[in-house]
């Protein structure tokens, strides 16, 4: 008997091949995504798919992109960013000064770290701003560095910021200005496996936890807590909740804001 229908075997092979631990993702959701992709490429079962992934760079890249679920847009859930701009940023500057240490974790195609820079720019001169942005997906990081977006992706950008920092190209796409791009440093990193940076004043990680198991989530939130400076803030997504925040040591500061 082969392994064409053996998902447990497949998860082990994927870990050996990519170091992505599929056990940390919600199984039903993840398996459905993978099965859809296998059908799309007309491949017969998991065993054949693993063989293809080992030899076909394009399908391998598509697989990683597909697994790491890049749904992103500028100023997603506007009211949360308004709160950041109105209350959280002035408070962080008061506590930590203008040279804030900011990390955008699971930054996808760059919309989020660039949104952070634009939000901070209302309070701090650009040359003070530095954001670390990490993601596991090479393709998403390439798009993030290029910083060219479709109209619908930047629909949430406030009009004054759009006018100041975006230029419409002849292709109909919108290019972000170098002034903003320069403020972000992109790095490849896996939240489940790689070491976390330390002493950050603000960590933004939104709309990625929904794909992880409870155990993986708990582990990541604890690591975020350790990565924050005392009184630092963690900003999570509108679809997420941290049930055990007080056990970890967080203080709740609003629906999606938690303070160390």
Query: Which two structure tokens, joined as six digits, stand for 28?
Result: 């039903």
Task: Report mean pLDDT in 10-residue bins for the chain, 260 residues.
Answer: 81 88 88 91 93 92 75 85 96 97 95 97 97 92 92 93 96 94 97 96 92 93 98 92 94 94
Looking at residue 251, its pLDDT comes to 97
Looking at residue 72, its pLDDT comes to 67
Looking at residue 219, its pLDDT comes to 96
Delineate the domains of the chain, giving CATH numbers in brackets: 7-67 (no CATH), 78-259 (3.40.50.150)
Check residue 212 and report its DSSP letter. Answer: B
What is the pTM assigned to this prediction? 0.84
Rounded CA Rg of the chain: 19
pLDDT tens, residue by residue, 192-214: 999 999 999 999 999 888 889 99
Looking at residue 111, its pLDDT comes to 94
Largest CA distance in the chain: 65
Query: Which two structure tokens, joined as six digits, stand for 143?
Result: 């798009």
3-state secondary structure of 13: helix
Query: Which two structure tokens, joined as six digits, stand for 104?
Result: 């955008």
């Amino acid at each position: 008997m082969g392994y064409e229908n053996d998902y447990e075997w497949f998860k082990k092979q994927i870990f050996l091949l990519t170091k992505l631990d599929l056990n940390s993702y919600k199984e039903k959701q993840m398996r459905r995504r993978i099965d859809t992709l296998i059908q799309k490429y007309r491949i017969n079962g998991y065993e054949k798919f693993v063989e293809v992934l080992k030899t076909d760079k394009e399908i391998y890249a598509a697989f990683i992109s597909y697994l790491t679920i890049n749904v992103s847009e500028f100023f997603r859930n506007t009211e949360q960013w308004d709160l950041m701009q109105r209350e959280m940023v002035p408070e962080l500057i008061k506590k930590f000064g203008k040279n804030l240490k900011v990390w955008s974790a699971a930054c996808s195609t760059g919309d989020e770290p660039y949104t952070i820079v634009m939000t901070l720019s209302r309070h701090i001169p650009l040359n003070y701003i530095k954001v670390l942005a990490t993601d596991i997906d090479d393709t998403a990081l390439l798009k993030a560095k290029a910083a060219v977006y479709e109209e619908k992706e930047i629909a949430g950008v406030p009009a004054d910021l759009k006018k100041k920092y975006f230029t419409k190209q002849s292709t109909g796409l919108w290019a972000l200005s170098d002034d903003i791009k320069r403020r972000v440093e992109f790095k490849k990193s896996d939240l489940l496996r790689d070491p976390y940076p330390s002493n950050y004043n603000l960590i933004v990680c939104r709309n990625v936890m929904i794909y992880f198991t409870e155990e993986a989530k708990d582990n990541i939130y604890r690591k975020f807590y350790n990565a924050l400076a005392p009184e630092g803030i963690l900003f999570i997504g509108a679809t997420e909740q941290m049930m055990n925040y007080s056990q970890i040591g967080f203080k709740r500061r609003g629906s999606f804001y938690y303070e160390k």
